[in-house]
């Protein structure tokens, strides 16, 4: 076998694997890869280099003001073809299907199932600074190509307000288990949940900043309005209502969403989402960790502030530490159930390339006696 291709990422992290390339390329992924001090120092140096030149303040404000437009354009270009269905969700977050057979969830909560990855050479693809962890499902969702429903933010706000007019009577009020997915995109989380969780008492809310993304969800062949409600929502707008009252949700899920928000607005958002939880309800998060491949690939001139960058398409991304996320959740009155780093080596055997990913996974619960 030819020697693996030398890349910047391999130069930073991959020396120990070069001694046995045949062993390296036997698998698509290596879980829980340990980093040496030298590897972490190299990553830190790379980040210092690409953060040395910040964008001017006026350009930063432009990206904040036009954030919705950039995400709309992203989904118009990619529709539901970029991010893949997240069938790993139920291994990592069994709370999304609590009645599922436990044997289906794997033996270890922090390990990924490789079932869908076994024949995929494009694992961990990156495009325009977007690096997805999802792999292609066997059956992708079919998008209905008919005229999309009109789903503007104004319409969604009005509908949510109308739903909450009757005290105790709101969409999904009769459900016994309610999940809210924030930042639903094209539905790569919500549809696996609806397919897997057959609880007749389940109701799933899902929202996104992008009108285009919500249109994609609503026009999907598997969208079931009796079990799901997709709506446009601006998390950063305190006046943008939710269609459900406080203390009504069992689970709020954030998958690579919080990282797209201006860092100084994150605490208010977590506070607001925490109020929606029932006592004992949980927020589940999966997001980018510090020194992930995506962070190391940024060039000078793309940094907005410490560990916060703008991609070439105008969308933004932050890279977290465990302590930062713990502070956000505990300040909101939640208690830690899980806060772990998954450092993973992904391999593209076809291209003989390695990619080092860093993700953080969290579970935080609202105390049973919480007054929030």
Strands 202-208 and 228-232: parallel
Angle among Cα 256, 178, 233 to the nearest 5 degrees reads 50
Domains delineated in the chain: 27-96+152-159+169-366 (3.40.50.150)
Q: Is the pTM of this model over 0.95?
A: no
pLDDT tens digits, 311-366 = 988 889 999 999 999 999 999 999 999 999 988 887 776 666 677 899 999 999 99
Kindly give the residue spans of alpha helices, DSSP state H, lying in the chain: 8-13, 15-18, 21-24, 37-50, 57-65, 67-78, 89-92, 153-163, 190-196, 211-218, 266-276, 293-296, 322-331
- Spatial contact of 261 and 320, defined as CB atoms under 8 Å apart: no
Beta-ladder partners of 220: 143
- In whole angstroms, what is the distance from residue 360 CA to residue 12 CA? 21
Classify the C-alpha dihedral 31-360-251-165 as positive or negative: negative
Q: What is the pLDDT of residue 345?
A: 82
Q: What is the pLDDT of residue 105?
A: 43
- Spatial contact of 103 and 291, defined as CB atoms under 8 Å apart: no
**Which of 308, 362, 217, 297 minimizes the C-alpha distance to 7?**
297
The radius of gyration of the chain from alpha carbons, rounded to an integer in Å, stands at: 21
* Average predicted confidence (pLDDT) for the chain: 77
Strand ranges, E, within 221-319? 228-232, 249-255, 277-288, 303-305, 308-310, 316-318
Say yes or no to pLDDT of 119 above 60. no
Say yes or no to pLDDT of 42 above 70. yes
- In this structure, what token pair is assigned to residue 334? 């939640």
pLDDT tens digits, 265-277 = 999 999 999 999 9
Tell me, rounded to whole angstroms, the distance of Cα 363 from its chain centroid. Answer: 14
**Which of 190, 99, 88, 100 minimizes the C-alpha distance to 141?**
190
């Amino acid at each position: 076998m030819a020697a693996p291709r030398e890349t910047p990422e391999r130069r930073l992290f991959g020396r120990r694997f070069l001694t046995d390339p045949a062993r390296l390329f036997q698998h698509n992924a290596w879980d829980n890869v340990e980093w040496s001090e030298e590897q972490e120092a190299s990553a830190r140096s790379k980040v210092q280099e690409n953060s040395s030149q910040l964008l001017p303040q006026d350009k930063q404000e432009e990206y904040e003001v036009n954030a919705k437009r950039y995400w709309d354009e992203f989904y118009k270009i990619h529709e539901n073809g970029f991010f893949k269905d997240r069938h790993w969700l139920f291994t990592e977050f069994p709370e999304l299907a609590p009645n599922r057979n436990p044997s289906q969830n794997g033996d270890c909560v922090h390990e990924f199932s490789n079932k869908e990855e076994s024949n995929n050479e494009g694992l961990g693809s990156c495009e325009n600074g977007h690096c997805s962890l999802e792999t292609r499902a066997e059956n992708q969702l079919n998008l209905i190509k008919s005229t999309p429903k009109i789903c503007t933010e104004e319409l969604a706000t009005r509908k949510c307000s109308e739903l909450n007019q009757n005290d105790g009577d709101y969409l999904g009020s009769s459900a016994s288990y309610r999940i809210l997915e924030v930042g639903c995109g094209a539905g790569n989380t919500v549809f696996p949940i609806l397919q897997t969780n057959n609880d007749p008492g389940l109701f799933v809310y899902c929202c996104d900043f992008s009108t285009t993304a919500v249109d994609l969800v609503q026009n999907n062949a598997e969208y079931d309005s009796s079990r799901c409600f997709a709506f446009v929502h601006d998390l950063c707008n305190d006046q943008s209502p939710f269609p459900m009252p406080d203390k009504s949700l069992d689970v709020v899920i954030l998958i690579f969403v919080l990282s797209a928000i201006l860092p100084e607005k994150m605490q208010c958002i977590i506070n607001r989402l925490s109020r929606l939880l029932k006592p004992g309800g949980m927020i589940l998060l999966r997001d980018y960790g510090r020194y992930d491949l995506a962070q190391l690939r940024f060039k000078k001139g793309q940094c907005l502030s410490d560990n916060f960058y703008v991609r070439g398409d105008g969308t933004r991304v932050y890279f977290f530490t465990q302590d930062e996320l713990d502070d956000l959740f505990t300040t909101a009155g939640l208690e830690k159930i899980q806060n772990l780093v998954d450092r993973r080596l992904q391999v593209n055997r076809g291209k003989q390339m390695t990619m080092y990913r860093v993700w953080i996974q969290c579970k935080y619960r609202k105390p049973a006696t919480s007054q929030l």
